[in-house]
Amino acid sequence: WSVYQANQSAEPYQPTAIQIAERSLKNTALSYLMLLETDEALQACWQQFEQSGNMTDVITAFASLLNSPFEEEKAKAINAFYQRWQHEALVVNQWFMVQATCTRPGNLQRVQELMLHPAFDIKNPNKVRAVIGAFCGQNAVNFHQVDGEGYRFLADQIIKLNALNPQVASRLLGPLTKWKTYTKASADLMKAELERIKAEPNLSSDVYEVVTKSLA
């Protein structure tokens, strides 16, 4: 609490080394405070989310809310953020990404819901990276589900994108290509999805090359 409070600043936003360091320390403290799941921490986080004058603080508060058990406030934050920034494409991508990387259990279902959102377009590479790429590449807790559902999800999207944008599809393969570095149970599931992709008819040369090199 003392660190969080000591690094509050009323000065106008500046991209200086000192301000960047203060924001980083303050936001790290806030993230730790939210792990306590207290009303006091929630109030501080919500205040920062609503009142901060810079996106760094807003995104940190937003992510902390989404990774908390406060379901009512979480839903309010998701709606409030989108309503405020829906006309800013880059910020909407951040909105997608923070939700896709949420480590709460069952987040794959939320990712699938995000893909049905009007702002999502699977033909837009930035949107694909913000949702599918962020979930599979930055959300280890939910991507590596023991039942392999995260791997199946990624393989399904790669197969779909193979016909739309082979280059993007091949880049998304990254998390599956590391299958040899995981435990046997996970590795077997990941390898099976790579083999399923490889067996697809009309597979693009981009995707085929990455898959075959990974399986070699």
d(CA 35, CA 38): 8
Q: What are the pLDDT digits (tens) for 10-22?
A: 888 888 999 999 9
pLDDT band of residue 51 (cuts 50, 70, 90) is very high
Span 159-200, pLDDT tens digits: 999 999 999 999 999 999 999 999 999 999 999 999 999 999
93 and 59 Cβ atoms separated by less than 8 Å: no
Identify the pLDDT of residue 14.
87
Q: At what angle do helices 149-164 and 184-198 cross, to 10 degrees?
A: 20
Q: What is the mean pLDDT of residues 80-96?
A: 97
DSSP 12: P
Instruction: Over range 199-210, report the average pLDDT.
Output: 96
Report the pLDDT value the prediction gives residue 31, as an integer from 0 to 100.
96
Answer whether residue 9 shows pLDDT above 90: no
State residue 57's pLDDT score.
96
pLDDT at residue number 55: 94
Alpha-carbon distances of 130 from 74, 135, 148, 155, rounded to whole Å? 19, 8, 21, 17
- The per-residue pLDDT for 97 is 98
Is the pLDDT at 158 greater than 90? The verdict is yes
Q: Is the predicted pLDDT of residue 27 greater than 90, yes or no?
A: yes
Q: Residues of the chain with pLDDT > 90: what percent? A: 96
Q: How many CB atoms lie within 10 A of CB 53?
A: 9
Q: Which residues contact 164 (CB under 8 A, 6 or more apart)?
A: 122, 123
pLDDT of residue 11: 87
Nearest Cα to 80, choosing from 20, 91, 154? 91
Nearest to 145 by CA among 201, 94, 107, 198: 107
Residue whose pair of structure tokens reads 């939910």 in the numeric block: 142
pLDDT of residue 188: 98
Mean pLDDT of the chain: 96
Residues in CB range of 143: below 8 A, 6 or more apart:
135, 136, 137, 150, 151, 154, 175
The confidence score (pLDDT) of residue 116 equals: 98
C-alpha 128/C-alpha 92 separation (Å) is 12
Per-residue pLDDT at 118 = 97
At residue 1, the pLDDT reads 96
Residue 140's region, left for phi above 0, alpha for psi from -120 to 50, else beta, is: alpha
Q: How far apart are the two ends of the chain, measured CA to CA in Å?
A: 52
Residue 208 CA to residue 201 CA, distance in Å, equals: 11
Q: What is the pLDDT of residue 10?
A: 84
